[in-house]
Chain A
Amino acid sequence: MIAYLLSRLLTFLPTFFGVTLISFSFIRVLPGDPIIVMGGERGVSPERYAELAAQLGYDRPLITQYGEYLWGVMQGDLGSSFVTKRPVWDEFFALFPATLELSVCAMIFAVALALPAGVIAAVNRGKFFDRALMSTALIGYSMPIFWWALLLIIVVSGWLGWTPVSGRISLLYYFPDATGFMLWDAAMSGQKGAFGSAVQHLILPTIVLGTIPLAVIARQTRSAMLEVLSEDYIRTAKAKGLSPTRVNGVHALRNALIPVITVIGLSVGTLLAGAILTETIFSWPGIGKWMVDSIFRRDYPVVQGGLLLIAVMVMVVNLAVDVAYGFINPRIRKR
């Protein structure tokens, strides 16, 4: 187990440094003189140019610059946004809860539906439910999710009027952002209908963001279950006179979950990518939308810093998944 953890850590570190290197080189790869780019739209005078060059350390060798950059990163200094002038780190963590709330809801939605569906499909292999589920899952991850979002908006918000089109909560409600998690803040605010409004605003984005993970996890669960169900120990479980619910739900599922947990963990990366599109369409003030807006506004420190932070977050989640996998799989947990 220790050996396993160490090996995972050993792959994490070089990748981390590589990611910082890429982020570091980002601004320097942009076409044009980076200092002029940093200077902003109005151009720079020669004095300002020299000032910026010294400030940004462009007169020093590349290695030193990277070292300084790395040092800054470790301390949480990722520069400041051109547009808002606030530190990138602060802006990121101010907006992060919105994305986190949405992602967690989407993940819960996906897993809660996908696991039972996959199990039932595997147990009823070849029958109607199985085929219907697999077809639906296939359509689910073949759809462009921005189109799916627009379609849902047309039908659910437009024709049926059940949900709002954008934002996290109705403009009628105002309360200070205690935690940044709208559901919690709304519930705590004590204002009537605030929580309900927050939930209503979450419904469509959750469905849209969760669709692809739902489809992928359902398929994975089904195929993992199919493999497990043909194993000898399932026959033993049946020979012990256990009920089908227990055989499938306890004996089979436990084993099937092992590969599925890995898939769930890796979906986090997909979620972040999907969040970009979902947040843009629903005007959800999270990291995804922030990145897209910054790219358009040429707010390069934000793009550079945001890229680094997101990549590191995905890596940390993957590492956590690897560690969790080590605990779940008894063959690794106990040698």
Chain B
Amino acid sequence: MALLEIRNLSVDFATASGAFRAVDGADVAVDASDVLAIVGESGSGKSVSMLALMGLLPWTATVTADRMMFDGQDLRAISPRQRRRIVGKDMAMIFQEPMSSLNPCFTVGFQIKEILRIHLGLNRHDRHARAIELFEMVGIPAPEQRLGAFPHQMSGGMCQRVMIAMAISCAPKLLIADEPTTALDVTIQAQILDLLTELQKDTGMALILITHDMGVVAETAERVSVHYAGQKVEEQGVLDLFKAPHHPYTAALLAALPERATARRLPTIPGVVPGQFDRPDGCLFSPRCAFADDLCRAVPPGQAPATLGLALCHYPLGALA
């Protein structure tokens, strides 16, 4: 049975200028110990779908889904109190800006021990011991001293390690990492990613990595889900995706990687992601797609079979092969 199963998730925001559909019929399925990467540019709704899963969206958002099951529980039906028992314990999330994600008024020790007290009910002595243990697991040197430090006294990389420590403190079944390295130095990026993959292997938890960096995807993911304008446009194993992408958008993304450049000019994808007021009638990618025809522009495409990467396209690449 899948650990996480989301079917046909849609998130609408009530804005001053009408409803805005940030996530449009997306599917996410993760088994225990899976490593899934969700890829997409800004505005693709990749973060919003995960925030919806965690229940972290503001009240202006309306979340609908055919199915939203985590560990056998229907997340749409549970009460807020039951949800709070899952969030932070079995299902944890870390965010993009580690320094502003920690409360400046409390020591990092306080912030991590809080979780241990509320979710695990440990006593003071055990909390202290476990906190030190967690800090060691995430590679924070001199953990005892660090417990009394404030976030502004620590570097970005160190803060992100603290965030990770907090996230894994209750041995979660699923860890969602929303662009965890985007705000960090390149050298630290590699360290944090290694840490995440190591922890994933050691604890056997499922990991969802949200990123816009295809290089990160290549190194860490087992499966990749590509999102565009709120929709999931392709999903495949990572090796297959890089070898043979089936959606034109994925192909364009891969072609735009500097490492894959063959000519002197880097290929780009013309146009911009559709906003609130210029959603095309047919395929959302059609204005920017090199292969689009009238059918693409008029009729929204259905999902291709799994052999063609579940591509949301009328003419998935490699279909005729």
Binding site for B on A (CB under 8 A): 231-233, 235-243, 251, 254-255, 258, 330-331, 334
Contacts and interface: CB of A to CB of B under 8 A. Distances in A.
Interface of B: 54-56, 81, 83-89, 92-93, 95, 97, 100-106, 114-115, 118-119, 150, 152-153, 163, 166
A309 B34 CA distance: 72
A330 B104 CA distance: 7
A260 B62 CA distance: 34
A238 B58 CA distance: 11
22 contacts: A232-B97, A232-B101, A233-B100, A233-B101, A233-B103, A235-B95, A236-B102, A236-B163, A237-B103, A238-B55, A239-B93, A240-B87, A240-B114, A240-B118, A240-B166, A241-B83, A241-B84, A241-B119, A242-B118, A255-B105, A330-B150, A330-B152
A251 B103 CA distance: 7
A255 B104 CA distance: 8
Contacts of B88: 239-242
B87 A239 contact: yes
Contacts of B54: 239
Nearest to B93: A239
B20 to A, nearest CB: 18
Contacts, number: 70
A241 B82 CA distance: 10
Give the dominant DSSP class at B's interface.
mixed
Contacts of A243: 81, 84
Contacts of B103: 233, 236-237, 251, 254-255
B282 to A, nearest CB: 36
Given A242-B118, A330-B104, A334-B153, A235 B56 contact: yes
Contacts of A232: 95, 97, 100-101
Given A233-B100, A242-B114, A330 B105 contact: yes
A241 B150 contact: no
Contacts of B163: 236
Contacts of A334: 150, 153
B97 to A, nearest CB: 6
Given A239-B54, A254-B103, A334-B150, 4 more contacts: A239-B92, A241-B89, A243-B81, A251-B103
A335 B254 CA distance: 45
Nearest to B169: A240
B285 to A, nearest CB: 30
Given A240-B166, A331-B152, A233 B104 contact: yes
Nearest to B102: A233
Given A233-B102, A255-B103, A331-B152, A241 B86 contact: yes
A305 B56 CA distance: 59
A38 B106 CA distance: 59
Given A231-B100, A235-B56, A241 B87 contact: yes
Contacts of B55: 238
A132 to B, nearest CB: 19
B115 A240 contact: yes
A312 B95 CA distance: 49
B161 to A, nearest CB: 14
Nearest to B88: A241
B58 to A, nearest CB: 9
A243 B102 CA distance: 17
B150 to A, nearest CB: 5
Nearest to A236: B101
Contact of B56 (A238, A251, A254, A258): A238
Contacts of B152: 330-331
A235 B101 contact: yes
B81 to A, nearest CB: 8
A184 to B, nearest CB: 35
Contacts of B105: 254-255, 258, 330
A251 B86 CA distance: 20
Task: Give 3 nearest A-B pairs by CB, closest first.
Answer: A241-B88, A240-B88, A241-B87
B312 to A, nearest CB: 30
A225 to B, nearest CB: 14
Contacts of A255: 103-105
Among A232, A233, A241, find the residue whose CB has the most chain B CB atoms closer than 10 A.
A241
B284 to A, nearest CB: 28
A239 B93 CA distance: 7
A335 B153 CA distance: 7
Contacts of A331: 104, 150, 152
A233 B95 CA distance: 10
Contacts of B118: 240-242
Contacts of A251: 103, 106
Contacts of B56: 235, 238-239
A256 to B, nearest CB: 10
Contacts of B97: 232
A116 to B, nearest CB: 19
A242 B166 CA distance: 13
Contact of A254 (B106, B119, B150): B106
A251 B87 CA distance: 17
Contacts of A235: 56, 95, 101
A96 to B, nearest CB: 35
Nearest to A125: B59
A125 to B, nearest CB: 9
A179 B111 CA distance: 45
Nearest to B104: A330
A231 B95 CA distance: 12
Contacts of B92: 239
A179 to B, nearest CB: 37
A243 B80 CA distance: 9
Contacts of B106: 251, 254
A129 B56 CA distance: 23
